Amino acid sequence: PVSFPPHSVALQVLGTFILWVGWYGFNPGSTLGISPAGYADVAALCAVTTTLAAAAGSVSAMFTDMIMTRMKTGETMYDITMCMNGALSGLVGITAGCSVCEPWAAFVIGIIAGWVYIGFSNLLVKMKIDDAVDAIPVHFGNGMWGCIATGLFASPGLVANAYGTENYGAFYGQGGALLGVEICGVLFIIGWVCVIMIPYFLILNALGLFRVDALEEEVGLDISHHKGAAYDMSGPSEDAKEKYEISHSQRKVVVPADEEEA
Cβ distance 54 to 21 under 8 Å? Answer: no
Is the confidence at residue 141, as pLDDT, over 90? yes
The burial class, CB within 10 Å (0-12 / 13-18 / 19+), for 137 is buried
Backbone φ/ψ region at 168: left (φ over 0), alpha (ψ -120 to 50), beta: beta
Nearest to 169 by CA among 90, 91, 96, 89: 96
Query: What's the pLDDT band for 100 if we cut at 50, 70, 90?
Result: very high
Per residue in 214-243, pLDDT (tens digit) is 888 777 777 777 777 766 666 677 787 777
Check residue 253 and report its DSSP letter.
P
Name the nearest CA neighbour of 99 among 166, 142, 167, 163: 163
1-15, 59-73, 80-94, 248-262: lowest mean pLDDT where? 248-262
Q: Tell me the mean pLDDT in the region 158-187.
A: 91
pLDDT above 90 as % of the chain: 62
- DSSP letter assigned to residue 36: S
Length of the chain: 262
Q: What is the mean pLDDT of residues 118-123?
A: 95
pLDDT band at residue 110 using 50, 70 and 90 as cut-offs: very high
Quick one: pLDDT band at residue 149, thresholds 50, 70, 90? very high
**Res 8 pLDDT > 60:** yes
What stretches of 136-200 adopt beta strand conformation (E)? none
pLDDT at 249: 65
Distance CA 65, CA 234 (A): 28
